[in-house]
């Protein structure tokens, strides 16, 4: 694959979002990790704590990935699957981001959000031996079988929102391209019919 990297304002400006996500993610994680031990219930106050609270702030660690997938894998496998492989994927994404002209401006902002969240969690896996700091817990009312959604953090939020935004823009873009193609076919058809009639008359 041949990458010709291009650096301009359109590609560079969204990286402000990447930096902001990384910074905000690490500040919130450091704030939680430095003040409360793992397992602490931070908000609401423990005296007012109830399992049905819609929002809870608790300090937990995740040595795996989303939904604790891979929790029981041996450490070398975790290092490869959860650190080395994601780094390779992010590097490829960055190269494609700076070389491709296919992305819209909105899609570039979405990719920047994915990069920020990905880097934020990889930093945790490298620098924090107990795993990624998660602290946001939301009641999910049994949807998909979850009474509470698995605890997450700022980086996770950025990745999910940005992925949804990217997929929506791709879907809408594809739908528009199909509509434009149909419109072109419809407009070309009368021209072809007129040409065919003209050829028949000449014969």
Does residue 181 lie in a domain region?
A: no
Note whether 42 and 31 are within 8 A (CB): no
Task: Give residue 109's pLDDT.
Answer: 97
Tokens 């070309």: give the residue: 188
Instruction: Please state whether the peptide bond connecting residue 12 to the residue before it is cis, i.e. omega within 30 degrees of 0.
Output: no
Residue with tokens 């028949």, as numbered in its chain: 200
Look at residue 177 and tell me if it is in a domain. no
Q: Is residue 152 part of a domain?
A: yes
pLDDT at 71 (0 to 100): 83
pLDDT tens by residue, the chain, 203 residues: 556 899 999 999 999 999 999 999 999 999 999 999 999 999 998 778 787 899 999 999 999 887 778 888 898 999 999 999 999 999 999 999 999 999 999 999 999 999 999 999 999 999 999 999 999 999 999 898 889 999 999 999 999 999 999 999 999 877 676 766 666 676 656 655 655 566 566 65
The four Cα atoms 59, 32, 85, 110 give a dihedral, to 10 degrees, of 110
DSSP string, 124-143: HHHH-TT-EEEEEEEEEEEE
Contact of 62 with 134, CB cutoff 8 Å: yes
**Rounded to whole angstroms, what are the CA distances from 203 to 105, 192, 197, 200?**
53, 17, 10, 5
pLDDT for position 179: 66
44 located within any domain: yes
Total-model pTM: 0.82
Which pLDDT does position 64 carry in this prediction? 86
| pLDDT value of residue 197 | 62
| Length of the chain as a residue count | 203
Eight-state DSSP code of residue 84: I
Expressed as residue numbers, the domain containing 84 is 9-169
Domain count, the chain: 1
CB 66 within 8 A of CB 146: no
- Give the single-character DSSP code of 44: S
The catalytic residue among 8, 45, 156, 199 is 156
In a domain? residue 4: no
Question: C-alpha angle with apex 144: 138 to 145, nearest 5 degrees?
Answer: 80
Please check whether residue 180 lies inside any domain of the structure.
Answer: no
199 in active site: no
Any domain includes 186: no
User: Quick one: pLDDT at residue 103?
Assistant: 94
d(CA 38, CA 29): 12
Which of 52, 101, 134, 199 does the annotation list as catalytic? 134
Q: Residue 58 in contact with residue 153, Cβ under 8 Å?
A: no
**Is 45 labeled as catalytic in the residue annotation?**
no
- Report pLDDT for 126: 94
Q: Is 178 within a domain?
A: no
SS3 at position 148:
strand
């Amino acid at each position: 694959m041949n990458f010709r990297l291009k650096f301009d304002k359109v590609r560079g400006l969204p990286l402000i979002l990447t930096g902001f996500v990384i910074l905000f993610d690490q500040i919130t994680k450091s704030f939680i990790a430095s003040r409360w031990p793992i397992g602490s219930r931070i908000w609401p106050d423990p005296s007012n704590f109830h399992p049905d609270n819609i929002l809870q702030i608790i300090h937990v660690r995740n040595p795996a990935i989303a939904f604790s997938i891979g929790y029981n894998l041996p450490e070398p496998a975790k290092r490869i699957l959860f650190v080395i492989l994601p780094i390779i994927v992010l590097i490829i994404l960055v190269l494609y981001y700076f070389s491709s002209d296919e992305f819209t401006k909105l899609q570039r902002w979405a990719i920047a959000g994915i990069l920020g969240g990905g880097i934020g969690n990889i930093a945790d896996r490298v620098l924090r031996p107990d795993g990624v700091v998660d602290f946001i817990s939301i009641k999910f009312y049994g949807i998909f079988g979850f009474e509470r959604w698995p605890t997450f953090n700022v980086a996770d939020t950025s990745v999910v929102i940005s992925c949804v935004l990217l997929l929506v823009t791709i879907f809408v873009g594809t739908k528009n391209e199909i509509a434009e193609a149909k419109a072109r076919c419809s407009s070309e058809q009368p021209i072809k019919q007129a040409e065919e009639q003209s050829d028949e008359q000449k014969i």
